Chains A and B, each alone.
Chain A
Amino acid sequence: MKKNKVKNNLDEMQEQKLLQIEHNCCWFSYWALFISLVVQMIISDNALQYVIGELIVFLGLCVYFCVACIRNGIWDRRLKADPKTNLIASIVAGLIMAVIMFIMFYRRSGMPVGSICAGIITGGIVFAICLIIFTISASIYRKRLDELEEEVETE
């Protein structure tokens, strides 16, 4: 195991408390960034131009989080990596995106039918993309979990 060259001033109890504080800060920042992105997309006319920086940071955070979890054989505390859960999560993601797109288009154009269509199409695309990504990720996760279990058995 790599040792940090800089001396740690904290003992193990303080270290655990600090990790808990960092955990809370991380999740607060994550959801605050997500809400800020959604609000900016809804209220600004040229959304992408305004949110591109935050979007890159947010997506980078998501990619790191997913890759780090899968590499360590972790999926979720409560959710399971099965097709049913993936389907429900994809539907939820699609619905959220459909509502956001509906509000965004309706605010700009004022046309309810067109906005509903935009919402349904975007929601459908997001649902399909999420389902594909979840299915692939779940498959990689299961393989990684097997690898980790084999590593532990052989050591």
Chain B
Amino acid sequence: MKNLKLKFARIEKDISQIELAKMIGVTRQTIGMIESGDYNPSLKLCLAICKALGKTLDDLFWEDDENEEE
């Protein structure tokens, strides 16, 4: 399940995957995998992403039941 909310929030802030990765101390590959839904980040990493993008956990990671089944 792709995390489009994260992708849109990053684009909204005009931040590249590399820049976001540097801000939170992970690799670009990890950001790419989170956005494509291939990796489930820990709560610690989710919080770091939220802080870097100025969003809440709900904004970026909450999924409605309908979307979760996709």
Contacts and interface: CB of A to CB of B under 8 A. Distances in A.
Nearest to A16: B39
A11 B39 contact: no
A14 B41 contact: no
Interface in A99-144: none
A13 B42 CA distance: 9
Contacts of A14: 27, 29-30
Interface of B is mostly: loop
A12 B27 contact: no
Nearest to A14: B27
Interface string B12-42: 0000000000000111011001000001011
Contacts of A12: 26, 30, 41-42, 44-45
Contacts of B33: 13
Measured as residues with beta carbon below 8 angstroms from the partner, the interface class of chain B is: 10 to 19
A147 B26 CA distance: 38
Contacts of A13: 26-27, 29-30, 33, 39, 41
Nearest to A9: B27
Contacts of B26: 11-13
A19 B16 CA distance: 28
A101 B51 CA distance: 64
A18 to B, nearest CB: 13
B27 A11 contact: yes
Nearest to B32: A13
A13 B26 CA distance: 9
B11 to A, nearest CB: 21
Given A12-B26, A12-B41, 10 more contacts: A11-B25, A11-B26, A11-B27, A11-B30, A12-B30, A12-B42, A12-B45, A13-B26, A13-B29, A13-B30
Contacts of B41: 12-13
